[in-house]
Chain A
Amino acid sequence: MMLGKLTRFPGTRIPAEALSGHSLLNAYLTDLDSRLLGSARVRLQTLAEVRDHLEESARHHTESGLPEDRAMELAIQAMPGKAQAMAQRAELLRRFVRVAVPSGLLWGVSMAAFWSFMPGSSEILALVWMLWLSTGVLFGAFLGWYTAFIMPQRLLTTTPGRQLAAAPSRGISVSYSPAMQRLGACMSIFFALMAPAFLALGVIGMFNSAAIEVFFFPWWACLLLAPVLVFDFFMVRLAARRYEARDYVIVVRDFLALPLNRLTAVGNLSDVRRFLPYYWKRVHYAEFKRDGGKAVRLLIYPTMLNAGRLFAMLQQHLEAKAQDP
């Protein structure tokens, strides 16, 4: 019971986006949802996929002449909810173990080993070992729980159920920008080196306690990178989540799809705004006329994915439209 509450936090009801217009399907999805683990967003990933499969399968049966309800019944029979729930549980458990075990062991053992080099009685050392090992286990369990049960698998994918638009949008690809990928790799190396560095520090501290302070300095300096990481993470979330598609410009952040035939202007932000700080002078914009005559200005940041390509595409499109209205 307790485990169920922990793994279904923060939402226990079926996410509204998962439901469809078909009562049979809704009953199936509600039952399936009650068996799934994870937060509402994590469960939505499975529910949306299963719903899509069943709707497609039912459509297939309907096309071969079956009535709608019978078609849905057959589709549901072929996809037992229990099997889908077990697959989801196994997948979440795999993700939990993959994160919890290495991070718990790494932190617990390395921190306990580090403190064991400090002078003190064996009873205190045993206590320190126990303390750090249990802290490591708890830390690992927390990380694993958060990664598997709370956070959806991919931060940079769109949330299913919130429709982008019925756009012919093949070719949308979602990933961090190359700069962010490089930074991420550097930070991974940095964190991977932290545990052995603490061990080395402990050994050095046995012979020369003053050296610890010298060695600590670069690590604290490195830790100052954390705000940069956080800033970059949000920059990617806020700015770089904009992609180009074949006939539409998709703005994932706002869940908008702006049709290219409504494009009215492109340019540099400094053309339309005065007194911009340096960074903003490198930002481009594209303006779209929406229904009712209201204009939407899409900002193209230099940091966003394929920014140059997107701007060139918009410019070309506008030029082509000017030549052949």
Chain B
Amino acid sequence: MAEPRNDAQILKGLLDALVLQVLADSDSYGFAIFQTVTARLKEDAPLFREATLYPLLYRLEAKGFVDVYWMPGDRGTDRKYYRITKEGKRHLKERIQDWGRVARILHRTVLDDKGGAK
């Protein structure tokens, strides 16, 4: 199997947007976010590792894109929930527009209908 080509910065931006998208649907906690994102990534799931989840969430929190609160989870122990902020929603919208533009350009210039090179 060919090794996936992933520019670290592009991947970081993509994962940030994916996590924000999950939180835009509903507030969630670490493990649930991880599961939802890997489910959405399907065969690309190995791109997202559990070890990178919390640094990513801390980064989003530091930028003010997500907010946190604690409340009891279903096992009775306290659980940290993440909630997207207004700024996070705005950032996500901008990123989606950017990615959309990049995808359109790629499809017009580089990729064929099946996603391969023209």
Residue positions of A touching B, CB distance < 8 A: 45, 48-53, 55-57, 60, 78-80, 83-84, 86-88, 90-91, 94-95, 153-154, 157-167, 169-170, 172-174
Please give, as numbers and ranges, the residues of chain B lying within 8 Å of A56 by CB-CB distance: 30-32
Residue of A49, A55, A157 near B69 (CB, 8 A) is A157
**Contact indicator B77/A154 (Cβ below 8 Å):** no
Provide a sorted-by-A list of 20 A–B residue pairs whose CB atoms are within 8 angstroms: A49-B30, A52-B29, A52-B78, A52-B79, A52-B80, A53-B30, A53-B31, A55-B75, A56-B30, A56-B32, A60-B35, A83-B52, A86-B55, A88-B58, A90-B58, A154-B68, A157-B68, A159-B70, A163-B77, A164-B78
Which residues of B from 34 to 50 have beta carbons under 8 Å from A? 34-35, 49-50
Q: Is B115 an interface residue (CB 8 A)?
A: no
Please report which residues of chain B, range 67-110, place their CB below 8 angstroms from some CB of chain A when the two chains form the complex. 68-73, 75-80
Most B C-beta atoms less than 10 A away, residue of A56, A153, A170: A56
Which residues of A sit under 8 angstroms from B79, Cβ to Cβ?
Answer: 52
Contact B31 A84 (CB under 8 A): no
The reply to whether A160 and B68 form a contact with Cβ atoms under 8 Å apart is no
Measured CB to CB, the closest approach of chain A to B50, in angstroms, equals 4
B29: chain A residues at CB < 8 Å are: 52
Please determine whether A80 and B51 come into contact, CB atoms closer than 8 angstroms. Answer: yes
Q: How far is the CA of A48 from the CA of B73 in the complex (A)?
A: 12
Binding site for A on B (CB under 8 A): 29-32, 34-35, 49-55, 58, 62, 68-73, 75-80
Q: By the criterion CB–CB under 8 Å, are B31 and A52 in contact? A: yes
CB distance from B33 to the nearest CB of A (A): 10
User: Do the beta carbons of B58 and A84 come within 8 Å of each other?
Assistant: no
Q: How far, in angstroms, from A159 to B51 measured CA to CA in the complex?
A: 24
What is the CA–CA distance of A20 and B35 in the complex, to the nearest angstrom? 23
Q: How far is the CB of B19 from chain A (nearest CB, A)?
A: 14
Evaluate contact between B78 and A84: CB separation under 8 angstroms.
no
Q: Are B78 and A48 in contact (CB under 8 A)?
A: yes
Q: Is the beta-carbon distance between B68 and A169 smaller than 8 angstroms?
A: no
Closest to B26 in A: A170
Which residues from chain B contact A170 at a C-beta distance below 8 Å? Answer: 71
Instruction: Give complex CA distance A166, B72 in Å.
Output: 6
Contact A91 B58 (CB under 8 A): yes
Q: What CA separation (Å) do A80 and B69 show in the bound complex?
A: 25
Excluding A87-B55, A163-B77, A172-B69, 9 further A-B contacts by CB distance (< 8 Å) are: A52-B29, A52-B73, A53-B34, A79-B51, A83-B55, A158-B70, A164-B72, A167-B72, A173-B69
**Would you list the 4 A-B pairs with minimal beta carbon distance, nearest first?**
A56-B31, A87-B55, A166-B76, A160-B78
Residues of A within 8 A of B35 (CB): 60
Would A174 and B72 be within 8 Å (CB), given that A48-B80, A52-B29 are in contact? no
Measured CA separation A51–B75 after assembly (Å)? 12
Contact A57 B50 (CB under 8 A): yes
A160 to B52, CA, bound (A): 22
Is B78 touching A158 in the complex (CB atoms < 8 A)? yes
Residues of A within 8 A of B62 (CB): 91, 94-95
